């Protein structure tokens, strides 16, 4: 097999991935972790997560890749040979854990397309100048354990492994114990492979590409994320006998906070977003004024200063509501990631690859968090998006057309060849 040089690559035809293999694996992985009602949930460290991981590792082994698993359960499929083993790898990847009642593409598409790219290049006899690695990072979703992107955060040294393993889940479980239990507390050195470049292919999970008729998103930045858990303590009392002016109603205070966020953002004219995604009342009885409300607030904005202003406005409102409603409010920070800018060279390579494939692309910001947000701390990083039907995600209706799945995977393939096989002059 000849080693590819920059010149020889430019004359070679564009490769294309194996559509049936990729779409078949996405469907097969999408069936792992469904409950009797057919809902798909593979939360990090769960038995369903294990089943999905086992299937993915099986595909890595069948593809003849080295498999490495680190102590936070990040899985790496490594394609290298004696001629390129000393070079820093090109890393591709995403995650295969899901939210609750999830779609089948979020994360999984990027991981399986990365494996597909490696298998396509191997099958074509391409010998890259550097190793190519596919990564499936642990707990990207952060539904059971906060923060999200936990595996990639540990990978880049953003959180000590001991602290990560000690994370307590929403169900009282301990992440490290769960990883042990499911057999994914690995022994590979965290951060074992420092990427030469990292490229993550992902569904857009929003409406822009479909609405504007673009096949490819060349993602050049990703917005900041702020997660908090708010606990409001009031006084349980009788729903029928307690006059409205005499209540210390934790539930009402919580409702006011959700409404405040919506109205504050509407008035600010900023692209910020706010979500109260979980809410629990105690004692949770129809005729008892809630003594306690516990809920989470997810705030996001592409601009760090605006995000801080929004966080401060919320903090001020909590003080005001506590005084007006006669309740006590405490806040626990669950996650805080700044906006990140991606590598312009890779973004340009994505645009060039899209053009070479005759695909319309546009630059965009990612509204969702991704492992790329973490890896960007240690390596040149960028993302490729493909359209989401109706902009829906984190929902079983999540869908991307096979033609779009293939287009994205072929652009990823071409970008990898540019970076790993054509003497890429990036950073
Ligand atoms: O929350 C997010 O944006 C990602 O899905 N973890
Ligand atoms: Mn994702
Ligand atoms: Mn997600």
pLDDT tens digits, one per residue of 97-154:
999 999 999 999 999 999 999 999 999 999 999 999 999 999 999 999 999 999 999 9
Helical H runs in 149-198?
Answer: 150-155, 161-165, 175-181
**Mean model confidence pLDDT for the chain:** 95
10 has pLDDT over 50 = no
Give the pLDDT band of residue 9 (cuts 50, 70, 90): very low
Cβ atoms of 328 and 322 within 8 Å: the answer is yes
Q: Is the CB of 369 under 6 A from ligand 1?
A: yes
14 has pLDDT over 90 = no
The per-residue pLDDT for 5 is: 39
The per-residue pLDDT for 190 is: 81
Q: Which domains does the chain have, with CATH numbers?
A: 19-223+339-421 (3.40.630.10), 224-337 (3.30.70.360)
205 has pLDDT over 70 = yes
The per-residue pLDDT for 427 is: 44
Distance from residue 103's CA to the centre of ligand 3 (Å): 9
The per-residue pLDDT for 13 is: 56
Q: What is the DSSP string of 69-106?
A: E-TT--EEEEE--TTTTTSPPEEEEE-----TT--S-T
Whose C-alpha lies nearest to ligand 1, atom 6?
141
* Per-residue tokens: 172: 């009282």
80 has pLDDT over 70 = yes
Q: What is the DSSP string of 243-259?
A: -GGG---HHHHHHHHHH
On the 0-12 / 13-18 / 19+ scale of CB atoms within 10 A, 207 is middle
Q: Is the dihedral of CA 313, 318, 319, 323 positive or negative?
A: positive
The per-residue pLDDT for 191 is: 81
The per-residue pLDDT for 2 is: 39
Distance from residue 244's CA to the centre of ligand 1 (Å): 39
Angle between helices 47-62 and 19-30 (to 10 degrees): 160
Give the pLDDT band of residue 423 (cuts 50, 70, 90): low
Q: Which of 125, 150, 132, 155 is nearest to 140 (CA)?
A: 150
Cβ atoms of 129 and 406 within 8 Å: the answer is no
Per residue in 23-62, pLDDT (tens digit) is 999 999 999 999 999 999 999 999 999 999 999 999 999 9
Distance from residue 376's CA to the centre of ligand 1 (Å): 16
The per-residue pLDDT for 362 is: 98
Distance from residue 266's CA to the centre of ligand 1 (Å): 23
End-to-end CA distance of the chain: 28
250 has pLDDT over 90 = yes
- 2: DSSP letter: P
Q: Is the CB of 368 under 6 A from ligand 1?
A: yes
The stretch 191-217 carries a mean pLDDT of: 96
Interior CA angle at 60 toward 55 and 63, to 5°? 125
293 has pLDDT over 90 = yes
Q: Which of 323, 334, 340, 289 is nearest to 143 (CA)?
A: 334
The stretch 221-236 carries a mean pLDDT of: 98
326 backbone φψ class: left, alpha, beta (φ>0; ψ -120 to 50): left
Per residue in 374-386, pLDDT (tens digit) is 999 999 999 999 9
Q: Is the CB of 141 under 6 A from ligand 1?
A: yes
Cβ atoms of 405 and 359 within 8 Å: the answer is no
The per-residue pLDDT for 245 is: 97
């Amino acid at each position: 097999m000849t080693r590819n040089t920059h010149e020889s690559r430019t004359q070679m035809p564009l490769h294309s991935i194996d559509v049936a293999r990729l779409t078949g694996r996405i469907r097969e992985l999408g069936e792992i972790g469904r409950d009797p009602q057919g809902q798909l949930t593979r939360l990090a460290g769960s038995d369903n997560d294990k089943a999905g991981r086992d299937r993915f590792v099986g595909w890595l082994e069948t593809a003849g890749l080295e498999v490495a698993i680190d102590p936070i359960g990040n899985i790496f499929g490594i394609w290298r040979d004696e001629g390129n083993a000393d070079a820093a790898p090109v890393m591709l990847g995403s995650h295969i854990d899901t939210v609750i009642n999830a779609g089948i593409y979020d994360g999984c598409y990027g991981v399986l397309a990365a494996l597909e790219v490696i298998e396509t290049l191997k099958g074509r006899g391409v010998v890259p100048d550097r190793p190519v690695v596919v990564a499936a990072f642990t707990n990207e979703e952060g539904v059971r354990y906060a923060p999200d992107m936990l595996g990639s955060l540990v990978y880049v040294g953003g959180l000590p492994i001991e602290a990560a393993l000690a994370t307590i889940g929403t169900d009282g479980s301990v992440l490290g114990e769960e990883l042990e239990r499911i057999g994914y507390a690995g022994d590979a050195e965290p951060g074992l492979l420092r990427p030469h470049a990292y490229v993550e292919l992902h569904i857009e999970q929003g409406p822009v590409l479909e609405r504007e008729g673009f096949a490819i998103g060349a993602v050049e930045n990703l917005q900041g994320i702020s997660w908090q858990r708010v606990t409001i303590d009031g006084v349980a009392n009788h729903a029928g006998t307690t006059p409205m002016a005499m209540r210390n109603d934790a539930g009402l205070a919580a409702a006011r906070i959700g409404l405040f966020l919506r109205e504050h953002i509407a008035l600010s004219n900023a692209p910020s977003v706010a979500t109260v995604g979980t809410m629990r009342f105690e004692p949770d009885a129809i005729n008892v004024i809630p003594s306690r409300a516990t809920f989470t607030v997810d705030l996001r904005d592409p601009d760090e200063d605006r995000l801080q202003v929004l966080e401060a406005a919320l903090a001020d409102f909590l003080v005001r509501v506590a005084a007006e409603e006669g309740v006590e409010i405490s806040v626990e920070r669950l996650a805080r990631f700044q906006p990140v800018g991606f590598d312009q060279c890779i973004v340009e390579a994505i645009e060039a690859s899209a053009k070479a494939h005759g695909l319309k692309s546009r630059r965009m910001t990612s509204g969702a968090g991704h492992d790329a947000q973490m890896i960007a701390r240690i390596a040149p990083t960028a993302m490729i998006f493909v359209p989401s039907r109706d902009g829906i995600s984190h929902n079983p209706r999540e869908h991307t057309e096979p033609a779009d799945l293939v287009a994205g995977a072929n652009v990823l393939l071409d970008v990898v060849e540019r970076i790993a096989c054509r003497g890429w002059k990036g950073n």
